Structure 1
Amino acid sequence: MAQGHMIPMVDLARLLAAAGVQVTFITTPVNTARIRPIIDRIERSALPIHFVDLRFPTAEAGLPDGCENIDLIPSRNLFKPFIEALPLLRPQLELYLSAAPPDCIIFDSMNSWAAAAAKDLEIPHLIFHGPSCFYMLCSLLLEKSQILKSIAGDFDPFLIPGLPEPVEVMKAQVTRASDAPGWEKIKERFLAAQESAHGIVINTFEELELSVLEKYKKETGKKLSSNVWSIGPLSISNADVDSLSTRGEASSTDAQWVINWLDSKAPDSVMFVCFGSLVLNPLSQLIEIGRGLEHALSSLSSLSFIWVVKEAAKSEEVEKWLSEFEKKMSVRGMIIRGWAPQVIVLTHVAVGGFMTHCGWNSVLEAVAAGVVMVTWPRYVGDQFINEKLVVDVLKVGVSVGAKVPASLVKEMSGEAQVKGEDVGKAVVRVMDGEREGEERRTRARELGEKARKAMKEGGSSFENLKEIIQFARQTKIVME
């Protein structure tokens, strides 16, 4: 129950249905309402997808009414109670499955409790991982090596053991909430789900992470080594404008208006700035981003930008500053308040760069579009690891310079994490047409072409999807 997890799961449901499989998509009422535009389109298309709501146990878990998605949690203190509430959905799920047992269940990794329900009902089940395989491998190696226990300081650099190539991180960048005291049972449930699953589905593609996928398969153990399937990039599974503009949520602005604005710009001249569904910048940081964009505009005469600012709806002070900045930038900048049609923007020929928080959906969307990135990870989890993949391994990005999670920066007291000068320098490096920038852009375009081939008939992800369907049916027969 997070937009970054929900979006690729909907895409996966569409792909399975398009392959002729009857699909049931199970979530909760608030999440259904948030993807209602997508559901309406699916129902009009006659794809065989049935949507089912389970009542979310907010009252039983002591959560506010309607708190059914991570980005709706009003306080960090409620994150753990939210995760602990998820298994309370199990009786409803089992009741539904008992009435009409499916051939297979694919559950998001955050809903690891569903594995126990599937196991008790003797239903084949696959675990879906939304993050990159690079992140999954790093997490597995960190868990196996227990190296974090030997690292004293949060900011001491160390190499992740066992990777195909050296990657240096800090403890603060890779220590997750589940590593903290009090999370032991949640972590045990996750590991048990990984162990009981009949296979693993990952939103990536072989040509992007081939050596990583091979290493990950070996590290998962004999049972799962041959049952790890990459089926992405899921973001390019639906190409029409209406579907893309409602991917995740309905856009806060008219998609056609955005397209018309982009049509007026030269190829590779627009920097797209968007930090996902969870990141909220304080005013001090928004001002620094604005300063950075102004600096880049003064350095590159052809540069324009689109900046998505969710914070405007949450603060009158932010809206006042943003309105003034918007007037000043009206010729070369577009401000979108709220949700943006991200894939539509990224796939437009005018867009040459993407400033991102390094959530995997966003990274993979940029890769599929062949767009170079300015990387700015914010949260512990996969974001700092994804930055390493983009900048150091794939070499299609430039870091803005953020070294620690936003939670460790005094943002709420008004201090900006990254200064405008560093934002501007990173934008110029990405958008500059000099040799370094062009080489980076060439690599990005080559990856984009490989991504599109992977999803087409005969491509690696296309064939893997067929294998998943065949495996699920065969496993169901064997279990019966």
Structure 2
Amino acid sequence: PVGIFSDMFLPWTADSAAKFDIPRIVFHGTSYFALCVVDSIRRNKPFKNVTSDTETFVVPELPHEIKLTRTQLSPFEQSDEETGMTPMIKAVRESDAKSYGVIFNSFYELESDYVEHYTKVVGRKNWAIGPLSLCNRDTEDKAERGRKSSIDEHECLKWLDSKKSSSVVYVCFGSTADFTTAQMQELAMGLEASGQDFIWVIRTGNEDWLPEGFEERTKENGLIIRGWAPQVLILDHEAIGAFVTHCGTNSV
């Protein structure tokens, strides 16, 4: 082998690359902006200069003024206290530091200031090769991006085809974002009260938070997908007019 291209969550590949004396290039599915912010926070720890979790602080050394609060940071960034994720996060960071360079699911025109910042300030070799979603050309590719969909793509398309252009609200918060029962119930009541056509992707499992009778009352204008959704296929449809999202890079 002449090199290894590895996802960031496979840190053991750094040792494999070292064993064969070949370069490892790590893939980050997130943006240049996100890694620039994380780098500054790790080095400068600006959150230590505020007195409460809701007081804003400026993330230093970035091309633009970016303000955050402690509540917007992960616990791992704010404390040295060990958690269940600590060993993995440490391994990822250590393997990143050993890597020859980084490839991003992004492109220069989207965040040119942060591509330049990452190159000059963070100082690592990097290549922007995104957006990777462009490789999803046919219906099957779009339907099964990430994993096999929990709903038949033809059924989903048939439902979307029955709606007017830009009339459907698509609601999806990814596979890891967590919300309280009260928040999910408020969202459900808001969707119902709006009378708007919607597709709502929810995780399988405990669904006790769904208001009683919600699905029956919204069956004419709502489609609930439990599990994995054919997101690229849905977002590519002309009926979609709005996207309620947690703003994960793979969604954006």
* Same fold (TM > 0.5): yes
Amino acid corresponding to residue 255 of structure 1 in structure 2: E
SS of 1:107's equivalent?
Answer: strand
In structure 2, do the counterparts of structure 1 residues 192 and 307 end up closer, same or farther at CA, with 3 Å as the change threshold?
A: closer
Deviation at 1:281, TM superposition (A): 4.3
CA separation in 2, counterparts of 1:188 and 1:332?
46
Amino acid corresponding to residue 240 of structure 2 in structure 1: V
Alignment match, 1:75 = none
Q: CA RMSD in A?
A: 2.2
Q: Deviations over 1:360-390 (max 9, x none)?
A: 1012xxxxxxxxxxxxxxxxxxxxxxxxxxx
Q: For residues 50-199 of structure 1, what are the structure 2 equivalents within 5 Å?
A: 102-177=1-76, 179-182=79-82, 189-199=91-101
Alignment match, 2:118 = 216
CA separation in 2, counterparts of 1:342 and 1:185?
32
Alignment match, 2:176 = 278
Alignment match, 1:293 = 191
Tell me, yes or no, if structure 1 residue 258 matches structure 2 residue 156: yes
Alignment match, 2:229 = 340
1:280–1:310 CA contact under 8 A, matched in 2: no
CA separation in 2, counterparts of 1:127 and 1:174?
24
SS of 2:9's equivalent?
Answer: helix
Q: Deviations over 1:53-84 (max 9, x none)?
A: xxxxxxxxxxxxxxxxxxxxxxxxxxxxxxxx
SS of 1:335's equivalent?
Answer: strand
Q: Deviations over 1:344-374 (max 9, x none)?
A: 10010110111112221012xxxxxxxxxxx
In structure 2, do the counterparts of structure 1 residues 283 and 193 end up closer, same or farther at CA, with 3 Å as the change threshold?
A: closer
Of 182, 191, 200 in structure 2, the residue corresponding to residue 307 of structure 1 is 200
Alignment match, 1:35 = none
Of 122, 128, 131 in structure 2, the residue corresponding to residue 230 of structure 1 is 128
Amino acid corresponding to residue 337 of structure 1 in structure 2: R
CA separation in 2, counterparts of 1:186 and 1:152?
30
Amino acid corresponding to residue 122 of structure 1 in structure 2: D
CA separation in 2, counterparts of 1:253 and 1:279?
21
Alignment match, 1:56 = none
1:140–1:219 CA contact under 8 A, matched in 2: no
Deviation at 1:334, TM superposition (A): 1.3
CA separation in 1, counterparts of 2:71 and 2:178?
20
Identity score, percent: 35
In structure 2, do the counterparts of structure 1 residues 228 and 172 end up closer, same or farther at CA, with 3 Å as the change threshold?
A: same
Deviation at 1:188, TM superposition (A): 5.3
Deviation at 1:203, TM superposition (A): 0.7
SS of 1:110's equivalent?
Answer: coil
Amino acid corresponding to residue 153 of structure 1 in structure 2: S
SS of 2:109's equivalent?
Answer: helix
Alignment match, 2:108 = 206
Q: Deviations over 1:392-418 (max 9, x none)?
A: xxxxxxxxxxxxxxxxxxxxxxxxxxx
In structure 2, do the counterparts of structure 1 residues 107 and 305 end up closer, same or farther at CA, with 3 Å as the change threshold?
A: same
Amino acid corresponding to residue 206 of structure 2 in structure 1: K
SS of 1:362's equivalent?
Answer: coil
Alignment match, 1:445 = none
Amino acid corresponding to residue 110 of structure 2 in structure 1: L
Amino acid corresponding to residue 35 of structure 2 in structure 1: M
Deviation at 1:191, TM superposition (A): 3.9
Of 205, 220, 235 in structure 2, the residue corresponding to residue 331 of structure 1 is 220
Deviation at 1:187, TM superposition (A): 5.6
CA separation in 2, counterparts of 1:231 and 1:185?
29
SS of 2:106's equivalent?
Answer: coil
CA separation in 2, counterparts of 1:155 and 1:110?
31
In structure 2, do the counterparts of structure 1 residues 140 and 356 end up closer, same or farther at CA, with 3 Å as the change threshold?
A: same
Tell me, yes or no, if structure 1 residue 360 matches structure 2 residue 249: yes
In structure 2, do the counterparts of structure 1 residues 331 and 182 end up closer, same or farther at CA, with 3 Å as the change threshold?
A: closer
Q: Which is helix-richer, 1 or 2? A: 1
Q: Deviations over 1:271-292 (max 9, x none)?
A: 0011111235454333211111
In structure 2, do the counterparts of structure 1 residues 194 and 235 end up closer, same or farther at CA, with 3 Å as the change threshold?
A: same
2:5–2:26 CA contact under 8 A, matched in 1: yes
In structure 2, do the counterparts of structure 1 residues 345 and 109 end up closer, same or farther at CA, with 3 Å as the change threshold?
A: same
Amino acid corresponding to residue 80 of structure 2 in structure 1: A
In structure 2, do the counterparts of structure 1 residues 187 and 340 end up closer, same or farther at CA, with 3 Å as the change threshold?
A: closer
CA separation in 1, counterparts of 2:15 and 2:9?
13
Q: For residues 430-449 of structure 1, what are the structure 2 equivalents within 5 Å?
A: none
Q: Deviations over 1:273-321 (max 9, x none)?
A: 1111123545433321111113332xxxxx411111224x434x346x4
Amino acid corresponding to residue 292 of structure 1 in structure 2: G
CA separation in 2, counterparts of 1:199 and 1:285?
41
2:185–2:209 CA contact under 8 A, matched in 1: no
Of 227-236 and 113-122, the range deviating more from structure 2? 113-122
Tell me the TM-score normalized by structure 1: 0.49
Aligned residue pairs, count? 249
